[in-house]
Structure 1
Amino acid sequence: MSRDIFFVSNTTDELGGVTGWTHQTARLFAQQGHRVHVVGIHSADLTMALPEQPAHPVTALYPAHPPTPWTPHGLRDRFRLPTRRGEAARVASKKEAVARLSELFATARPGAVVIVTQVWAMEWVSEADTSGLRVIGMSHESYDYSRAGHRYRWIRNQYRDLDHWLVLTEEDADRWAADGMNNVGFLPNALARLPVLPSPRTARTVASIGRLCDQKAIDLLLDTWALVAPARPGWTLRVYGAGEDEAALKAQCTALGLDGSVEWMGRTDDVEGALAKSSVFVQSSRGEGFPLALLEAMASGVPCAAFDCAPGVREIVRDGEDGLLAPAGDVAALADRLLRLTGNPRLRDAMGTRARSAVQRFSEPETLRRWEELFAFLER
């Protein structure tokens, strides 16, 4: 059955895993015969170059991040005319954005589905007219990471009454269900493609790929590399990515005396090429959902060392079989895993080969089959 499917995200072009996942999944649905429209609340400042131009329509409701609601502080603040005018303009602009979203939804055929990929975007969807549509919410981060921040409250407030909402692992779904969210299910991310050839794993290079922000914890990676580099002369850590923490991280790198063994590669649109030049992949995140970077590294036959910071990480990497995990935030333990992989070519090759084979259980056809089952279930 061909359906109209709307993806609604914070943005449609922001550098990051959710953007890549959104357009990848939209492409899969379109190839399946569905009519797909990707909607972002706003256009991003730090944008992501997509591997191919989307064939599906893409709409941004705002040209830039909309202003946040005004909260007056004290009686005097309530009577500041410029501020009150700015808030009135914000409210009017939001009504226009919601109306535009409702107009898009009104074009849908019976059986249409709205997939809200990030909880902040749900604020607009909840005010739009979704009559006759099935609405599915999503969270691309772990229960613990949501629980530690403001998104926990947003999820409980915004997702409780949806037709369904999805996390990325069964473990997280069980934890949300125990928290009273009985409409939750799980569905992992899909591996986009398997490179024709794996990495030869001959370069003395460790790769990290991700946004330079607090969540990805490159600061912890630098502390880790400070323990590894003295024991591995000739090895280089290549950090691929851009973000708001770049200047601070480079200063930290210099302070740790690592400028001779760390290369800042900037953002890359050729992840496959970067991995082909690497022998080990490292992920030092404070929190994750179901990280695509791990899937891509394993598909390239590059063994991974990572912090066990989320159920999705340990579902992808089977510790001791096709990669090595360290307790979340334990810099010394992550350094130990990197020393093992960089110091033992036979271990690298064995784990890389097993990783490339094992990661194919997250294939696109299997993930698409599970989505179709969910759509059929919601129509009953």
Structure 2
Amino acid sequence: MNLLLADLHKFVNYSGGIEHVLSRMAFSMEEKGYHLSVVMADEKEGAPFYPFPKDCHFYNLFHMAGMKPVHMGSLDKGLREITRLFSKSGARERNYKMLSAAAPQLERVLALEKPDVIISFREPTGRLLLEGLSTTVPVISMLHNDPDEIFAHAPAKEIKALEKSARIQALMPSFIQKAEKYLHYDHFVYIPNAVSIPAVSARPGASRKIHTITNVGRVTGRTKRQHLLVEAFTLLAKDFPDWQVYLWGDTYDKTYVATLKGMIKKAGLESRVLLKGTTKDMASVWKETDIFAFPSHHEGFPLALTEAMGVGIPAVGYRSCPAVNELIHDGEDGYLTEDGAAPLAEALRKLMEDGDKRAAFGKRAKENMKPFAPEVVWDEWDQLIREVLGE
């Protein structure tokens, strides 16, 4: 059975959550006997940050052998960003127009691979398949975020295209109700992300010379909001001299990173709040973590949070953040707080001053992540794909 995974997005040295899910799905579906091909799109040439199976056929649409390279011109990119100031929907329309220049390359991949089912990882990817190429191959569209974030400013044509999907997968049950506000569609299915737990057990209640609060995610202001963690820790630093903060993640948002570094310097915390960049050795990160802090504005199904909880680390996040407010059970395996630095600081304080509580919360967190075990989730995907093929 031929399965094509499609995510028309940059991937060279890019460690995004969606790309991580794609990599995990590729390995898992290959184990289940599927013939795998993957198509992505990056103006850079190079290998993906996350690996794929050795026998998987991988295509970069923007650099297809025997075809002219696709470039998103500087002028077009500039116009897209100017448009974004006035209309997010208009900016997405411009972005799709640039992406659709790779339609001949995508058509060639379909001809070469002859997929029985396609799984689309982003809305513009699904639109290019279902509207731009009008493929007759069943497309399962994944929603990797809160539908309010995805569809509130989505172009009408993008929504109409997605309504042609064989299935639309949502990461949380509550997301299906949200999506129904925007799409006239009745084939939604709930499948969460698979939480792959490293072979390590965290020790959040252990006695250490230095304790660590960890955040993992792209260092960016609108979504991940690491500045709120820096502000919260600034309120706590004098009372907890044996604590530090590690911020792990891609630092491509240079303006925000510069602002963050300025905040850290102004607070005199350069030696205690560190931007660590990216790593593939998350087991080592979790070993030294006592609390996972996650001040995101919105999420789909955050792998970093669920992996931290899965190894037994208590977590703190905002009650207003979709997905986070369903994954963290307040007062049981972590804390949910109101927005802002001060509420976040108070929640962190409760855990920082009580090692026994950290250990107890961490133990419950580990138990609460078991329903998202890979063997459960990938079996659900296998069943869904075969159900679609049966139709």
Please give the TM-score of this superposition, normalised by the length of structure 1.
Answer: 0.84
Q: Determine the structure 1 residue equivalent to 2:300.
A: 289
1:233 matched to 2:241: yes
Q: Distance in 2 between matches of 1:152 and 1:282?
A: 34
Q: 2:107 aligns with which of 102, 107, 112?
A: 102
Q: Determine the structure 1 residue equivalent to 2:162.
A: 159
The structure-2 alpha-carbon separation of the partners of 1:241 and 1:46, relative to structure 1 and needing over 3 Å to count, comes to farther
Deviations 1:18-43 (A, max 9, x none): 11111101111011000111111225
The structure-2 alpha-carbon separation of the partners of 1:260 and 1:31, relative to structure 1 and needing over 3 Å to count, comes to same
Q: Unpaired runs of 5+ in structure 1? A: 74-89
1:6 matched to 2:13: no
Contact 2:202–2:312 at 8 Å: present in 1 too? yes
Contact 1:306–1:325 at 8 Å: present in 2 too? yes
Q: 2:216 aligns with which of 166, 188, 209?
A: 209
Q: Determine the structure 1 residue equivalent to 2:72.
A: 66
The structure-2 alpha-carbon separation of the partners of 1:55 and 1:273, relative to structure 1 and needing over 3 Å to count, comes to farther
Q: Determine the structure 1 residue equivalent to 2:280.
A: 269
CA RMSD of aligned residues (A): 3.0
Aligned length: 359
Matched residue SS, 1:42: coil
Q: Determine the structure 2 residue equivalent to 1:315.
A: 326
Q: CA deviation at 1:151?
A: 4.1
Q: Distance in 1 between matches of 2:122 and 2:166?
A: 16
Using the aligned pairs only, state the percent identity: 24
Q: Determine the structure 2 residue equivalent to 1:80.
A: none
Please give the TM-score of this superposition, normalised by the length of structure 2.
Answer: 0.82
Deviations 1:310-369 (A, max 9, x none): 442133222221121123x33222111111111111110001111112212101111112
Q: Distance in 1 between matches of 2:201 and 2:51?
A: 19
Q: Determine the structure 2 residue equivalent to 1:179.
A: 182
Q: CA deviation at 1:197?
A: 3.0
Q: Unpaired runs of 5+ in structure 2? A: 64-69, 80-95
Q: 2:149 aligns with which of 145, 149, 166?
A: 145
Contact 1:281–1:297 at 8 Å: present in 2 too? yes
Q: Determine the structure 1 residue equivalent to 2:93.
A: none
The structure-2 alpha-carbon separation of the partners of 1:30 and 1:238, relative to structure 1 and needing over 3 Å to count, comes to same
Q: 1:373 aligns with which of 358, 383, 386?
A: 383
Q: How do 1:118-133 residues align onto structure 2 when only pairs under 5 Å count?
A: 118-126=122-130, 129=133, 131-133=135-137
Q: Distance in 2 between matches of 1:153 and 1:257?
A: 49
Q: CA deviation at 1:92?
A: 10
Q: Determine the structure 1 residue equivalent to 2:39.
A: 39
- More divergent stretch after superposition (284-293 vs 307-316): 307-316
The structure-2 alpha-carbon separation of the partners of 1:233 and 1:93, relative to structure 1 and needing over 3 Å to count, comes to closer
Q: Distance in 2 between matches of 1:363 and 1:71?
A: 40
Q: Determine the structure 2 residue equivalent to 1:114.
A: 118
The structure-2 alpha-carbon separation of the partners of 1:129 and 1:264, relative to structure 1 and needing over 3 Å to count, comes to closer
